[in-house]
């Protein structure tokens, strides 16, 4: 991860009393977790890097074995779109611990609220 981002994250965590731990081993990171989340490995504009990114992230797929290391009632989050079989397995994505569609719906409501706020700001000027 970018050194500046890590430094800023640690600085802000200290201010709030939060505890931040960095892991290089995904199995260690999810051990006993309440929430397991991942992001797409190939974002828009990175299509030409697809093969390299898949190699770089090998071993980081969130699958049933990875979720089994988290707490039994842990939830799985993903901001979508998800590439099934790359960053997350089909069984986790569609499984009972996945709340990705609730997450997407919550994001929709947050975006609608932001639109209302922005409209009010524009009308106040």
Q: What is the pTM of this model?
A: 0.83
Secondary structure letter of residue 32 according to DSSP? T
CA 78 remoteness from chain centre: 5
The residues near 53 (Cβ < 8 Å, ≥ 6 apart) are 41, 42, 46
The string of pLDDT tens digits covering residues 17-76 is 999 998 999 999 999 999 999 999 999 899 999 999 999 999 999 999 999 999 999 999
Q: Return the pLDDT at 4.
A: 93
For the chain, what is the radius of gyration of the CA atoms? Answer: 18
CA 25 remoteness from chain centre: 16
Domains annotated for the chain, with CATH where assigned, are: 25-99 (3.40.50.1370)
């Amino acid at each position: 991860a970018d050194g500046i981002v890590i430094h800023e994250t640690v600085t802000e965590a200290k201010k709030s009393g939060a505890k931040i731990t960095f892991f290089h081993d995904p199995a260690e990171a999810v051990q006993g977790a309440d929430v397991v989340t991942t992001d797409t490995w190939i974002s828009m504009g990175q299509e030409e890097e697809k093969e390299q990114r898949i190699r770089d992230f090998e071993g980081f797929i969130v699958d049933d074995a990875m979720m089994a290391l988290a707490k039994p009632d842990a939830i799985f989050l993903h901001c979508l779109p998800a590439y099934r079989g790359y960053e997350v397995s089909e069984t986790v994505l569609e499984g009972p611990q996945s709340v990705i569609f609730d997450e997407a719906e919550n994001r929709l409501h947050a975006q609608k609220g932001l639109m209302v706020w922005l409209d009010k700001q524009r009308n106040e000027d």
